[in-house]
A and B are shown apart, each in its own frame.
Chain A
């Protein structure tokens, strides 16, 4: 079952601005991942943060994790029109299964 909730559901920003998406989950996790999906396509893995990590960077992406609040955020800095996509957080449960439990997703539109 879907356990994560993301907000906002949709976000529209101007090119060059930063985009922040938030994810909340319900149970203990092994790690949390962020994926990107272009319209009508498969998903692409962006970044993984382990339960004992608090922040991680990859290029223009910055992810934070607060296990006490069961929440994570994804920040995309200096956004580009090509960043337009849906972004999903996904958690790996702490029971060591390999399943990914996806959040509801944020649809990001970056206006040129």
Chain B
């Protein structure tokens, strides 16, 4: 149980286009979803936290108009990189926490999306 699906796994786009990444919890309701960015051989940097039905909370330094997050249901969150530029190229990973005692601190991760902006 606790499977998180992230799609697409890889995307290549031209500079100036927008890219949408989906994150779905397949067999549980996600209380909270998180979006991370990871540079090669580095750790995960939290970009934003989202709860279903409310606005995402962005970390300091993350442009909310650049990285649009929509958490429309308890099983789906999307991250849209608007007007992507080469410096946005990175590995983006989502995660989700389950409701229920004992689960809330464990995050279940998607497989990640490698974004390459030409």
Interface positions, chain B 91-117, Cβ under 8 Å from A, are 91, 93, 95, 97, 104-112, 114
Set A44, A48, A98, A104: member contacting B43, Cβ < 8 A: A104
Give the secondary structure class of A's interface: strand
Q: Contacts A98-B49, A103-B43: A92 and B105 contacting too (C-beta < 8 A)?
A: yes
Give the secondary structure class of B's interface: strand
* Count of residues in A whose CB is under 8 Å from the partner chain: 24
A12 to chain B, nearest CB (A): 15
List 19 A-B pairs, Cβ < 8 Å: A30-B105, A33-B105, A40-B91, A42-B93, A42-B95, A42-B109, A42-B110, A43-B93, A43-B109, A45-B107, A88-B44, A98-B32, A98-B49, A98-B97, A98-B104, A100-B34, A100-B46, A102-B43, A105-B43
B positions within 8 Å CB-CB of A: 4, 6, 32, 34, 41-46, 49, 60, 91, 93, 95, 97, 104-112, 114
